[in-house]
Structure 1
Amino acid sequence: MDVLVFDIHADFAHFRKIYSTSSPLTYSIIPPTSFYGIVGAIIGLRKEENQYLRLLNQHNLKVAIQVLQPVKKIRIGLNYVNTKGNVWVPKQRREGAHTQIRTEFLRFPKFRCYVRIDDSALFSRLVEYVQNHQNVYTVSLGLSECIANVEFIAFQPFEEKNDREIVSIATAIPERLLRKLEIEPGKEYLKERLPIAMNDERVVLCYDEVLFDASGQSLKAAVDSYWANENGINIVFLN
């Protein structure tokens, strides 16, 4: 199976955790549901009526995410203004329609993305745009203010393996595929519950616990199946 490999990075990123409200928190890596929007922006699929989610979803797009920069988070106060007519801020607050929200961001995030799209026309378009460093809409990591840069790395074949032996996995590993994990000293293991699938009404259909190293190192694990290239890079798709 041919896979497109590219890096994406920015100064800041924010992928809001659904359960965080008054003080938004961010996931540490790109959730698959956010990645559909990133690919849609590159190849020019509209957000109107969620067109991109009808063409890019868990059924026809596979993505594996590798952390390249250590996960760092900061919190920044964002100033929000009510622009929808009636001021929603309680009268006892002097700032009127203005309010400040402490928001968590990833600082200098960088990820390596391994992508496969079943639709050959869409996949060819994505490969062409990434190779030529082009995009139709502005690419961002979560919020529109977090403008990102995409860099082509490779377009190469990967072969599926089902030996269930312990190997070095470069990408984040979904818990549903994990059979055994070899704990190594000096690594910072993180596990987050990510949204994996979403319908075209933007309703999340399923979540999964995902394991990765916060510093970007590979993990030694046995999984149900993984994909390997000729260079010995082993990856696991999140969806």
Structure 2
Amino acid sequence: MNIISFDIWGDYAYFRRGYTTTSTISYPFPSRTTIAGMIASILGYPRDSYYNLFQENNSKIGLKIINPIKNTRINLNYINTKLGMNLSDIEGSGKRTQVPAEFIKDAKYRIYVSLDDENIMNQLYNSLHEHKSVYTPCLGISECLANFKLIGDKIHQVQLQTQENINIDSVVPKNSGNIQIEKGKHYGVVKSPAFFNENRSVLSFQEFYYETKGNPIKLDSCEYYQIGEDNVIMY
């Protein structure tokens, strides 16, 4: 399998959990659909035009938490919809309302991506290598600007491996194997969108185990890829 890896980071990240229209809680790391959007922004794909490139049958994604997950609260300004949907329709004060939202501070992740389309893989590698992006990359919302850096000097060519008692450096899909709980590590579980269709409807969700400080997670046995020094599960 051919895999490209790159780091992406920023002062803040906000990956809003879409359980309700008013949710202000952030995922600890970007969902698969959000990662697809990051890659599409670097390549310059218009909104809603790239979902078929990142389906289960033609793409694989992996993610490693590099900086520890640190949550902080920041107030966001929203239109006070109780008084109207457009600012021009609202008279006097009270046009906006402040809502506290959960952000990730000093966010940094390593993204691994494999696409069946070799031309797009080459375009992505060249863009990362030249540090060029068509649209400005961000971590969840446009206010959370991001920087990025290619890891390695070529596209990684790796083979699927299987091993027992293996430390996995990436987040772990819940069905990958049994976790060996280790003292001093802080584990979390999160469920996030995995695949969209052309109507921007979620086709399926995925659940992940992660270690909040980015430490490896030990599994009894699993299938993984060794990418540089990292053991990674692609999903």
Asked if Structure 1 and Structure 2 have the same fold, meaning a TM-score greater than 0.5 normalized by the shorter chain, the answer is yes
Deviation at 1:24, TM superposition (A): 0.9
Distance 1:58 1:147 in 2: 28
- 2:181 matched to 1:171? no
Question: 2:89 aligns to what?
Answer: none
How many Å separate the matches in 1 of 2:124 and 2:169? 23
Tell me the secondary structure at the aligned position of residue 177 of structure 1: coil
2:154 aligned with 1:157, yes or no?
A: no
CA contact (8 A) 1:69 1:215 kept: yes
Percentage of identical aligned residues: 31
Map 1:70-219 onto structure 2 (within 5 A).
70-81=68-79, 87-88=84-85, 95-154=93-152, 155-163=155-163, 165-178=164-177, 180-219=178-217
Following the alignment from structure 1 to structure 2, what is the Cα–Cα distance between the partners of residues 132 and 158?
Answer: 23
The Cα of 1:232 is off from its aligned counterpart by 4.9
Q: In the TM superposition, what is the alpha-carbon distance from 1:206 to its structure 2 partner?
A: 1.3
- Kindly provide the amino acid, as one letter, of the partner of residue 177 in structure 1: S
> Could you tell me how far apart the structure 2 residues matched to 1:202 and 1:223 are?
35
Q: Counterpart amino acid of 1:236?
A: I
Q: Deviations over 1:72-93 (max 9, x none)?
A: 11111111236x9x7249xxxx
Task: Read off the aligned partner of 1:40 and give its amino acid letter.
Answer: A
Deviations 1:183-227 (A, max 9, x none): 111111111112112112111111122001100111111344211
Contact (CA 8 Å) 1:23, 1:101: kept in 2 or not? Answer: no
- CA-based RMSD of the aligned residues comes to 2.1
- How far is the alpha carbon of 1:23 from its aligned partner? 4.5
Q: Matched residues in 1 for 2:151 and 2:196: separation?
A: 28
Provide the rounded CA distance (Å) in 2 between the counterparts of 1:4 and 1:200.
25
TM-score (normalizing by structure 1): 0.88
What residue in structure 2 maps to residue 31 of structure 1? 31
The alignment's TM-score, normalised by the length of structure 2, stands at 0.90
Structure 1, 153-162 or 133-142: larger mean CA deviation: 153-162
Long gaps (5+) in structure 2? 87-91
What is the CA distance between 1:61 and its match in structure 2?
A: 2.3
Shift of 1:114: 1.1
Give me the whole-angstrom Cα distance separating, in 2, the residues matched to 1:181 and 1:55.
31
Contact 1:38/1:139 (CA < 8 Å) preserved in 2? yes
Give the match for residue 45 of structure 1.
45
- Say if 1:62 and 1:116, in contact at 8 Å, map to a contact too: yes
- Letter of the structure 2 residue corresponding to residue 148 of structure 1: A
Cα distance in 2 between the residues matched to 1:174 and 1:21:
26
Q: Tell me how many residue pairs correspond in the alignment.
A: 228
* Aligned counterparts of 1:215 and 1:80: Cα–Cα separation in 2: 32
2:230 is equivalent to residue 233 of structure 1? yes
TM superposition shift of 1:67: 0.4
